[in-house]
Amino acid sequence: MEFKAKEIAEILGGTVEGNPEATVTSFARIESGKPGTICFFANPKYEHYVYECKADIIIVNNTFVPQQPVSATMVRVENAYASVAALLDYVTAKKRTYKRYRGCRSRVRFSSKIGKKVYIGDFAYVGRKAQIGDYTRIYEHVYVGDDVKIGSNCIIYPGVRIYPGMVIGNNVIIHANAVIGADGFGFAPLEDGTWKKIEHTGNVIIEDDVEIGANTCIDKSQMGSTVIRKGVKIDNLCQVAHNVEIGRNTVMAAMAGVAGSSKLGEHCILGGQVGIAGHLTVADNSSFGAQSGLIGNVKKPGQSFFGTPAIPYMEYMRSYAQFKKAGK
């Protein structure tokens, strides 16, 4: 890549403060910026790096007022964090080429329907009556079961397993070794102390613009569907159980888990290792600090929780102050 400050400002809808001809060829973190790189500044804790940074261009918020001279050219935007994400996406899209490719060691059933310029890597398998949309990339060693539907512009990374009958929307990214559609953890106790497996006959529906991290598992439903709504982002090593519904634009950090039949609202935030018990309902815009464990419904939207069992954040902090006193 090679961009001038004025080109970056045009792409991001920003303004240039400094040399509009300043040129960069790569990205860098602001703490390690060097000549020829572009950085961004959004977190006030990193402000001192703005004055020390050797990068040629720094993306900053419109509201930023320097307290010292800044040697780099600044591109001012409404939201620096979102703008650098947009710029990275722009650069990646320019590098990406679309062409039809089918590895000679892949196997695609004749009854499947493959869209335009689809990439299917070696040792990938596409089952009977599967459908894959235009410009989707199915990388090496991916299993796509019978009757699976995958939309357009998706990226399915190596080692992903998609069980038969699953439905995946457009612009979905699934990272390596994720499993979509395994049976949920459902067993009925018998009088002799053994457990009888409950068959799962449903599927998983993943809507548009979802990203799923490596080694994450999303189980199919007993009946009906496990549903991941539009815009959801799930980190690595997460577990979504059978019949769960995750609302639009909710995010889950690594090792979070949602037990069976729980329903999360829109725009929720789950920190690392958060656990949501089964058969619960969580209101929109709820957030949970790392390692929180929720055991009851959340009815009021917009609350923050912490601890196990999870309680509202300020209640937890008051309780924590008492814990500290009791320990002395």
Domains and their CATH numbers in the chain: 3-95 (3.40.1390.10), 101-317 (2.160.10.10)
pLDDT at 92: 83
Is the backbone peptide bond immediately before 189 cis, with ω within 30 degrees of 0? Answer: no
Chain-centre distance for alpha carbon 33: 27
pLDDT at 328: 66
Residues of the chain with pLDDT under 50: none
d(CA 160, CA 9): 38
Query: Would you please indicate which residues are annotated as catalytic (active-site) residues?
Result: 242
pLDDT at 262: 98
Q: Do residues 306 and 313 make contact, with C-beta atoms less than 8 angstroms apart?
A: yes
Provide the 10 A C-beta neighbour count for residue 293. Answer: 16
Cα angle at 34 between 91 and 42, to 5 degrees? Answer: 65
pLDDT at 196: 96
Does residue 239 sit in helix, strand or coil? Answer: strand
